[in-house]
Amino acid sequence: MKRCIYRAEGLEGVGKAKIWRVPEVSLGLTEAMEQLDVDHLSLFADGNRYYLYYECLREAAVTPEQLLMAAGERLAVWPGGETETGMDRRWVPMTDIFHYHQPAFGAAWRHSDRLTEPYGRLARLKPEEVASYIYHHYQYQEEEPGDGDKYGIIGLHESLLFFYSEQPATLEPATYEGKLNTSLKPVRWAEAMEPHFIPWTGVPAGQELWRKLELVLHAAFGRMEEETRCVIRYA
């Protein structure tokens, strides 16, 4: 099973509703998720910038273009590369630099009887602090696996951080050993991390470092009248 994180930008002047709240997008997404074995997809917005999280239940790579094909023409072309099909790319991958739990196949990963709400946050790193931030987070991840929300994960692109998690948090001990036997994680974690960030201005109290994102849509497979169906919910 793979966890995927991407970012994209909408075309100037094209609002969220015109990109995502159109029948061809929702119908195409439902069909694609079922055919490609993708579950728990969440899309967040920061103005006309979008952050996408989804889980692939097979080893084969699944791209955002396959899931949200109908939305492509309403998204800006991202310079610097093409998709595998040679088309202009509109989604760029974010690198998993931290997760509380390694993903697993089957029921060990997801439990359908527990309802949670997707939650996304955004932060900016000082360019000169990126290496330090990754270094400390790798220590944390491998010294104390399972120390937070089971589904919490941080993606990095350039110096931008996207933190996906779910509320209420799913707290379970890790079923595996971390790769490090050291104890180098800073004791005063928040204090040690604060100098790495470029603070946001004009945000609600408590969001100066990690700003809350708007949930645009969430799609997941659920049980309805004895039939498993993909249900899309718009925020």
Return d(Cα 186, Cα 95) in angstroms, integer: 23
Domain parsing of the chain, residue ranges: 2-234
CATH of domain 2-234: 3.30.70
Strand pairing category for 2-9 and 92-93: antiparallel
User: What amino acid is encoded at 199 in this protein?
Assistant: P
Of the candidates 44, 179, 196, which has an alpha carbon nearest to the alpha carbon of residue 119? 44
Q: For residues 157 and 93, what is the distance between their CA atoms, to the nearest angstrom?
A: 7
Distance CA 83, CA 89 (A): 5
CA–CA separation, 12 and 54 (whole Å): 25
pLDDT at 221: 77
| Long-range Cβ contact pairs of 185-188 (< 8 A, separation 24 or more) | 185/136, 185/139, 185/140, 185/143, 185/144, 186/136
Helix (H, G, I), strand (E, B) or coil at 156: strand
Q: What is the pLDDT of residue 79?
A: 82
Sign of CA dihedral 120, 125, 131, 136: negative
pLDDT at 51: 98
Q: Which residue stretches of the chain have pLDDT < 50? A: 223-226
CA diameter of the chain: 54
How many angstroms separate the CA atoms of 45 and 84, rounded?
A: 26
